[in-house]
Amino acid sequence: MAIIDNHKSVKIDKAFEDKHSEMFKFFNDKNIDVEVSDDFRRLKTFLTSLPKKDYPYNYDEFFDPDKVPVFDDNNFVLYLKKDGNIISTYAAKEMRFSNFFNDFMFAFELPSEKNDKFEYLYSYGQHMYSSCQWVSKEHRGNGFGMILDHLKKNLF
């Protein structure tokens, strides 16, 4: 197992690895490399190049660098690799909850005065949006999606 660091600020260091030893034992036992990256163009290219039967979803435009060009230093892509091949992906992006909440209220035509009731949800803490989770057909059912979600949640 190797940790491949291709991100300018999100790091998986020895302290993080030690704190999450069971997760990294999972990767090690399966000989899986973990890559953290800030290259969303590569993610888009990879997922949209897969045959429709392997990735039957529309690419999440929230992670499209051509449509949403501003990416914070805390946004990241995770890849799991086996023998140098990508077998799983996941992406996460920092998100101001107030922006999401206001869009939600607008989309569902809810009265804006209800915003005050939920201010506690976005007045503190860090909020992330994640998507683009994919596991190759050959590796589905082996816990890779679940472990990637665990890794993502612990990185921020």
CATH label of the domain that carries residue 21: 3.40.630
Mind listing the pLDDT tens digit for each residue in 91-146? Answer: 998 876 666 666 666 656 656 555 566 665 555 667 778 899 999 999 999 999 99
> Residue 14: inside a domain, yes or no?
yes
- Which tens digit of pLDDT belongs to each residue from 61-79? 888 888 876 567 889 999 9
Distance CA(147)–CA(150), nearest Å, equals: 5
pTM score over 0.75: yes
User: Per the domain annotation, does 101 fall within a domain?
Assistant: no
Asked if residue 112 is part of any domain, the answer here is: no
Distance, CA of 89 to CA of 11 (rounded, Å):
17
Q: Is 55 inside a domain boundary? A: yes
Beta partners for residue 78, in sequence order = 36, 90
Identify the helix (H) or strand (E) that includes residue 33.
Answer: strand 33-37
The SS3 assignment for 111 reads coil
As for how many domains the chain has, the answer is 1
Range of the domain at 75: 3-96+128-155
Q: Where are the alpha helices (H) located in 1-96, listed in sequence order?
A: 14-19, 21-29, 40-49
- C-alpha distances in Å from residue 93, one per residue of 11, 66, 69, 80, 155: 15, 15, 12, 18, 11
